[in-house]
């Protein structure tokens, strides 16, 4: 039986602080007849990259939030650009929006586009983990995507080992709470929800 999903680790990071032309490009695919094994491999390779970057700063992994701070030199050029309307600044542009490292769950039947350089771009994929130059609102999208990933595992009766986590989410328009399941990632959503 063919699996309906696989995983992709993708990203671009600065090799060293202040050198914007020396980039590390990551684009790896992880497949296995048991999707949880492919997922584990993707997260292991992700963590290997993170550990190498942290070692370059003589640091060790403590938490996702701390890693975002510690690795800013590898995800940010520290440059700022602004959008002006006349003489008034109306917005700031994140010039490093494309820097970071992400893990995607990709649907097997996803349409594929190929760049001039030969890179494959999958259309149907869910961002399930990322690191970039700041803690961002993407964490909420990631949490929604993790709920969707868990549904795929449940619907297809995929083994998810002991990675299942329950989280209580509240509907701001009612007094009811809702318990949802997702597969564990390095992001501590309980902690982020409290902050």
| Residue 164, in any domain of the structure | no
In the Cβ-directed half-sphere of 13, how many Cα atoms lie within 13 Å?
A: 26
Rounded to two decimals, the pTM is 0.89
Task: Identify whether 58 is part of a domain.
Answer: yes
**Of all helices (H) and strands (E), which one includes residue 169?**
strand 164-170
Does residue 176 form part of some domain? no
Question: Quick check: is 128 in a domain?
Answer: yes
Query: Rounded to whole angstroms, how far apart are CA atoms 15 and 26?
Result: 12
Write down the pLDDT at residue 4: 93
Tell me whether residue 25 is in a domain: yes
User: pLDDT by residue for the chain (195 residues), tens digit each?
Assistant: 467 999 999 999 999 887 888 999 999 999 999 999 999 999 999 999 999 999 999 999 999 989 999 999 999 888 877 777 788 877 777 778 889 999 999 999 999 999 998 889 999 999 999 998 766 678 888 999 999 999 999 999 999 999 999 988 766 666 666 788 999 999 888 777 654
Q: Are 51 and 61 in contact (CB under 8 A)?
A: yes
Q: Answer whether residue 161 is part of any domain.
A: no
Pick the closest to residue 145 from 131, 160, 127 (CA basis): 127
Is residue 180 included in any domain, yes or no? no
Sheet of 5-14, strand order = 23-30, 5-14, 100-107, 125-131
Distance CA 52, CA 22 (A): 16
The tally of domains found in the chain comes to 1
Maximum Cα–Cα distance across the chain: 61
Note down the domain range covering 104: 5-148
């Amino acid at each position: 039986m063919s699996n309906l999903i696989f995983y992709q680790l993708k990203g671009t990071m600065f090799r060293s602080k202040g050198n914007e032309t020396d980039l590390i490009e990551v684009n790896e695919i992880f497949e296995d007849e048991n999707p949880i094994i492919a997922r584990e491999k993707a997260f292991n390779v992700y963590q290997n990259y993170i550990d190498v970057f942290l070692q370059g700063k003589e640091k060790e992994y403590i938490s996702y939030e701390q890693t975002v701070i510690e690795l800013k030199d590898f995800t940010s050029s520290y440059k700022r650009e602004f959008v002006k309307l006349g003489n008034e600044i109306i917005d700031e542009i994140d010039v490093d929006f494309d820097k970071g490292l992400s893990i995607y769950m990709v649907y097997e039947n996803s349409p594929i586009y190929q760049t001039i350089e030969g890179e494959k771009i999958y259309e149907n994929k869910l961002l399930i983990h990322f690191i970039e130059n700041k803690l961002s609102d993407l964490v909420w999208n990631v949490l929604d995507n993790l709920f969707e990933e868990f549904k795929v595992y449940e619907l297809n009766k995929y083994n998810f080992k002991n990675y299942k986590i329950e989280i209580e989410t509240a509907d701001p328009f009612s007094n009811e709470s809702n318990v949802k399941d997702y597969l564990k990632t390095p992001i501590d959503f309980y902690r982020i929800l409290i902050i």
